[in-house]
A and B are shown apart, each in its own frame.
Chain A
Amino acid sequence: DTGVSQDPRHKITKRGQNVTFRCDPISEHNRLYWYRQTLGQGPEFLTYFQNEAQLEKSRLLSDRFSAERPKGSFSTLEIQRTEQGDSAMYLCASSSSRVTSYGEQFFGPGTRLTVL
């Protein structure tokens, strides 16, 4: 399977704990995005990487959230001191920046986070 992969698929944690999610994009894609989706809503943009550089971060993103993409390959999203409001599906997507691309993004299966 050469699609976007995410790990873990489900995470249950207690309030105040730290969690980290991993995303492996499609191998030839240099753009990587993180989104968050809550029930009944469309995905909401969190942050964007082109290769290893984090070029955009949502103003809605708390300082408790941090993301990295070392070496421009996989990416991690860490949430520190989790709160119940962080419970959501965290989605990773990747796309190509080739001239022929119009920005189609392909999503991974997501990580469902539940904060107790």
Chain B
Amino acid sequence: QKEVEQNSGPLSVPEGAIASLNCTYSDRVSQSFFWYRQYSGKSPELIMSIYSNGDKEDGRFTAQLNKASQYVSLLIRDSQPSDSATYLCAVNRLGGTSYGKLTFGQGTILTVHP
């Protein structure tokens, strides 16, 4: 089992729809959870971080965390063609010997079509 798994893509949604991206992780001591957006040929850009169970909203983005189910998701409301990118889920745990290194999923490609 991979440490971080994302739902297989690609995911295609029409403009204005809600895009839902999912991620599960295997390490129960994971503490911080991140969503990065990566455009083709570019580096990852941090768009959301979440540390506590529940929802966290930032503009059109909502991150949801359920530690009991080891599940984190990202919702993008009113999807725009500019949201078309690869979305990477990343987890880390602070303290001990992990030093906060991020473990990434393989990414989900999102395409928003007009």
- Chain A residues within 8 Å of B, Cβ to Cβ: 31, 33, 35, 40-45, 48, 50, 55-56, 89, 91, 93, 95, 102-110
A103 is contacted by which of B43, B94, B106 (Cβ under 8 Å)?
B94
By secondary structure, the A interface counts as strand
| B101, A42: Cβ atoms closer than 8 Å | no
B101 is contacted by which of A33, A102, A110 (Cβ under 8 Å)?
A33
User: A103: which B residues are within 8 A, CB to CB?
Assistant: 31-32, 92, 94, 100, 102
User: B101: which A residues are within 8 A, CB to CB?
Assistant: 33, 45, 48, 56
> A41-B107, A43-B104 are known contacts. Are A56 and B97 too (CB-CB below 8 A)?
yes
Most interface-central of A45, A55, A102, A108 (chain B CB within 10 A): A102
Asked if B61 lies at the interface with its beta carbon under 8 angstroms from chain A, I say no
**Can you name the residue of chain B whose Cβ is closest to the Cβ of A109?**
B43
How many residue pairs, one in A and one in B, have C-beta atoms under 8 Å apart?
Answer: 68
18 sampled A-B residue pairs with Cβ under 8 A: A31-B100, A33-B102, A40-B107, A42-B4, A42-B90, A43-B88, A44-B104, A45-B103, A48-B99, A91-B43, A95-B100, A102-B31, A102-B32, A103-B94, A104-B32, A105-B102, A109-B43, A110-B42
CB distance from A19 to the nearest CB of B (A): 19
- Chain B residues within 8 Å of A, Cβ to Cβ: 4, 31-32, 34, 36, 42-46, 49, 51, 88, 90, 92, 94, 97-107
User: B94: which A residues are within 8 A, CB to CB?
Assistant: 102-103
**Can you name the residue of chain B whose Cβ is closest to the Cβ of A107?**
B43
User: A89: which B residues are within 8 A, CB to CB?
Assistant: 43
Most interface-central of B31, B32, B102, B104 (chain A CB within 10 A): B102
CB distance from A45 to the nearest CB of B (A): 5
**Can you name the residue of chain A whose Cβ is closest to the Cβ of B41?**
A112
User: A45: which B residues are within 8 A, CB to CB?
Assistant: 101-103
User: B31: which A residues are within 8 A, CB to CB?
Assistant: 102-103
User: B46: which A residues are within 8 A, CB to CB?
Assistant: 104-107
| B44, A91: Cβ atoms closer than 8 Å | yes
| A43, B51: Cβ atoms closer than 8 Å | no
Assuming A102-B51, A104-B46, A107-B45, what are 16 further A-B pairs, CB within 8 angstroms? Answer: A33-B101, A35-B102, A41-B107, A42-B90, A42-B104, A42-B105, A42-B107, A43-B44, A44-B104, A48-B101, A102-B32, A105-B46, A107-B43, A107-B46, A109-B42, A109-B43
